Amino acid sequence: MKALAGGYARARDVTHALDLLAQADGMGRVLAGGQSLIAAMNMRLSTGDMLVDISRIADLRGVAVEDGCLRIGALTRHADIGTDPLVATHAPLLVQAVHHIAHAAIRNRGTIGGSLAHADPAAEFPACVLALGGTIHLQGPEGVRQVAAEDFFVDVFETAIEEGEILTAITLPLLEAGERHVLIETARRSGDYALAGLCVVKRAAGHRVTAFSVGPRPVLAMAAMERLDAGDTAGAVDALRAEIDPPSDTQASAAYRRHLAGVLLTRALHDLTGETA
């Protein structure tokens, strides 16, 4: 299987990338780590793309604490997130996620911005950013804008990114005292997409629970969160199972995924309390 690209251009900086996208007549595709896009191109699921390679834009890479937030550049690679001390301090959920994402060689190239922009409903990072209440930073011809994670994920492989825009960074709230994160998932094999997975964030203000691989986009499990905040664990499990609408595919049925999500929530809560105990 040989990819058929329409053309390739390497962007020097974000402005240049935006210019290139504008010139691409709607065929522009941002190429970051390429770990999903190039696979799709090789399988001829995507042909004729005008590739805008942003992978060399240094400004888009790296982690910092800025303005009371953890800012992660879009091109920060999975492997770097897994070892970054600031991420470990402020968003341990992402570190947990990295261990579940594919395999070492993929993590060396794949980027967090690419993962969010690709918006695979089975991917870990989108669910993490949603669970952490993160903000996605976009830049387009009209300037920059910020989108809350709650509003960012629209459908399978579909996000709030508009034509001609580029995802530049993610900001996350800094870890508060006593805050705890758990990511739990079940996959058929190590590194496979999860049959179902959950992120649980426990903060003073309450719980945030997101589920992935159980619908067309990561789900913020509001009903389950409410039951957890009320101290009703069993009710949270029932609520979670009720508020997700998982797909069936060759790996598992909707019914299994729904059941599994409940099992995982029970286990995640056990992990949370186990840590405090």
Partner 1 sequence: MTEAFRDRIDIALTVNGEAVEGRVPAGRHLIDFLRLDLGLTGSHASCEHGVCGACTIHVDGQAVRGCLMLAAQADGAEVWTLEGLTETGVIRDLQDAFVERNALQCGYCTPGMLASIKELLDMGGVPDRATIREHLSGNYCRCTGYEAIIDAVESVAKARAGEAAA
Partner 2 sequence: MTISFGNPDRPNSYIGKTVPRPNAPRLVQGRGKYVDDIVLPRMAHVVFVRSPHAHAKIGAIDTAEAAAVKGVLRIFTGADIAEVCTPWVAVLAHLKGLKSPPQHALAVDRACWVGDPVVAVVATSRAAAEEAAALVEVDYAPLPAVTDMMSALDADTPVLHPDMGDNLAFRRLHEEGDVEAAFASAHKVVEARFKTARHTGVTLEPRSILVDWNPAEGQMTAWHATQAPHMMQTVFAKHLDLPEGRVRVICDDVGGSYGIKVHVYPDEVATAAIAKIMARPIKFVADRLESFTTDIHARDHEIGARIAVDETGKILAMDIDDWTAIGAYSVYPRTSAIEGNQVVNLCGGPYDFAHYRAQTSVVFQNKTPTCQYRAVGHPIAVAVTEGLVDMAAAELGMDPVEIRRRNMYADDAYPVTSPAKMRFEGLSHHASMDKLMALMDYEGLRAEQAELRKKGIHRGIGIASFIELTNPSPFMYGIGGARISAQDGCTVRMDPDGSIVALSGVTEQGQGTEAMLAQIVAEGVGVAPGRVRVITGDTQVTPYGGGTWASRGAGIGGEAALQSALALKGSILEVAGAMLQAPADALDIRDGQVVDTATGEARMPLEELGRIVYFRGDTLPKGLPRELVQTRHFITSDYPFAFTNGVQASYLEVDTGTGEVKLLKHWCVEDCGRIINPQLVDEQIRGGIVQGLGGALFEEIHYDEDGQLLNGSMADYLVPMAAEMPDMVIGHVETPTMESTLGAKGAGEAGTAGAPAAVMNAINDALRPLGAQVTAMPFTPERILRAMGQIED
Residues in touch with partner 1 (CB under 8 A): 1-10, 19-20, 23-24, 31, 34-35, 38-39, 41-43, 50-51, 53, 55, 79, 102-106, 108-109, 189-191
Q: Which is nearer to partner 1, 174 or 187 (CB)?
A: 187
Q: Which is nearer to partner 1, 92 or 191 (CB)?
A: 191
Residue 172 three-state SS:
strand
Tell me the two tokens of residue 49: 């793309």
Pick from partner 1, partner 2, none: which does 251 bind, CB < 5 to 8 A by kind? partner 2
- Give the chain's end-to-end CA distance (angstroms, integer): 53
Question: Closest separation between CB of residue 30 and partner 1, Å?
Answer: 13
Chain residues 15-54 in contact with partner 2, contact rule CB under 8 A:
43-44
- Edge-to-edge strand list for the sheet holding 166-173: 63-66, 69-73, 166-173, 135-140, 143-148
- CA 97-176-59 angle, 5° bins: 60
Within 10 Å of residue 140's Cβ, how many Cβ atoms?
A: 16
Tell me the two tokens of residue 9: 């251009």
Q: x-or-dash pattern for partner 2, window 235-264, by CB under 8 A?
A: --------------xxxxx-xx--xx--xx
Pick from partner 2, partner 1, none: which does 104 bind, CB < 5 to 8 A by kind? partner 1
Could you identify the residue written with the tokens 């997130």? 81
Pick from partner 1, partner 2, none: which does 267 bind, CB < 5 to 8 A by kind? partner 2
Residue 103 three-state SS:
coil
Within 10 Å of residue 177's Cβ, how many Cβ atoms?
A: 6
List residues binding partner 2 (CB under 8 A).
Answer: 1-2, 4, 43-44, 186, 188-193, 195, 249-253, 255-256, 259-260, 263-264, 266-267
